[in-house]
Amino acid sequence: MHKLRLGTRGSQLALAQSRHMARLLQSHLPDLEIEEIVIKTAGDQRSLQFPKLAPASGDGKGIFTREIEHALLNNEIDFAVHSQKDLPPQMPPGLILAATPQRETAADALVSRENDSLKTLPPQARIGTSSLRRQSQLLHLAPQCSVAPLRGNIDTRLRKLDEGEYDAIIVAGAALHRLDIARGVLLDQEDFIPAPAQGALAIQAREGDKSTFELLQIINDASAQCEVTAERAVVEKLGAGCSTPLGARAVLRGNDLHLWAAVLSPDGGNRLFAEAKGTLCDEHHLQEAKLLGEKIAEHLLHQGADKYLG
């Protein structure tokens, strides 16, 4: 029997994601024993101490992953499960992305008390979101609405909606699905572009740990890996931070990869958009996906996206 130690955050969503990955691995490897190790990150501690503040500030990306990566480098765990959109574009030295499992929906979801769509929201509807990207796109698509800060886990956000603090909220559709919450309407991903890598998980391991890498590769999904590679290449080429109102979405159908992205002004008044399609070969598909992402980023920069990069 083989045993692996899985490192995860302790939030309801993180545990649901990690346990799903553990079950998926064990469905392929019935003799595999997985020990769950919960690690508190700086982002978790910040959320507890300052619940009304944004979950990340300044450096942003990595605030929910650094302590877990430190445990991985120190051989305290064997692999970790992250939301891939929380990871910085570059891995810390000594760590690798061992697998990108099959992706959940990348779409954002509108959850309202009246089951509204963006088009049917009443004038001056109060919409809750913690994301500048979502705020900018809301103001661009539904300028009649007002946007208000929204913090907390999914249960907290839904409770605040139901108690009347908001008319609607925007959350990741993947989070609702993974927690079996049957609420909300998924937004069109070409109009309301998701965050790069939204809906995708990252299975992280130590570089050089060949046996663990080979086990984790069993749950790698080539299509999801290709899409996320293209989306994250947009982020890296732009040098975008967590406060950049940037959306990017890639969809792979057969060997055809369609990628589109937008950078917006914070008030939603200006939207810079670019899209491209490419046909990938099997041998170099990840490199080609990365190049397509870089091409999209260059188009956005030529339009003046550097004004909104944070």
- Please report the DSSP string for 78-104 in residue order: SEEEEEGGGS-SSPPTTEEEEE-PPP-
Per-residue pLDDT, 206 = 97
First vs last Cα of the chain: how many Å apart? 48
What's the pLDDT at 56? 38
| pLDDT tens, position by position, 222-259 | 999 999 999 999 999 999 877 789 999 999 999 999 99
Q: How many CB atoms lie within 10 A of CB 1?
A: 7
**Which CATH number is correct for 222-310, 3.30.160.40, 3.30.43.10, 3.30.390.10, 1.10.730.10?**
3.30.160.40
pLDDT tens, residue by residue, 188-224: 999 999 999 999 999 999 999 999 999 999 999 999 9
Output the pLDDT for position 245. Answer: 94
* Domain ranges across the chain: 1-103+199-220, 108-186, 222-310
Q: Candidates 2.30.40.10, 3.40.190.10, 3.40.50.12640, 3.40.50.2300; correct CATH number of 1-103+199-220?
A: 3.40.190.10
- Whole-model pTM: value is 0.90
Distance CA 261, CA 265 (A): 14
Asked whether this chain's domains 1-103+199-220 and 108-186 adopt the same fold, the reply is yes
Tell me the mean pLDDT per 10 residues along the chain, length 310: 91 95 96 95 54 41 81 96 87 94 97 85 91 95 93 92 96 96 95 97 96 96 96 94 90 96 96 95 86 97 90
Q: What is 108-186's CATH number?
A: 3.40.190.10
Distance from C-alpha of 138 to C-alpha of 147, rounded to nearest angstrom:
8
- What is the Cα 68 distance to its own chain's centre? 17
Query: Is 256 assigned a catalytic role?
Result: no
Pick the catalytic residue: 78, 86, 108, 209? 86
Full DSSP string of 200-258: -EEEEEETT-HHHHHHHGGG--HHHHHHHHHHHHHHHHHT--TTS-EEEEEEEETTEEE
Residue with tokens 């570089």: 207
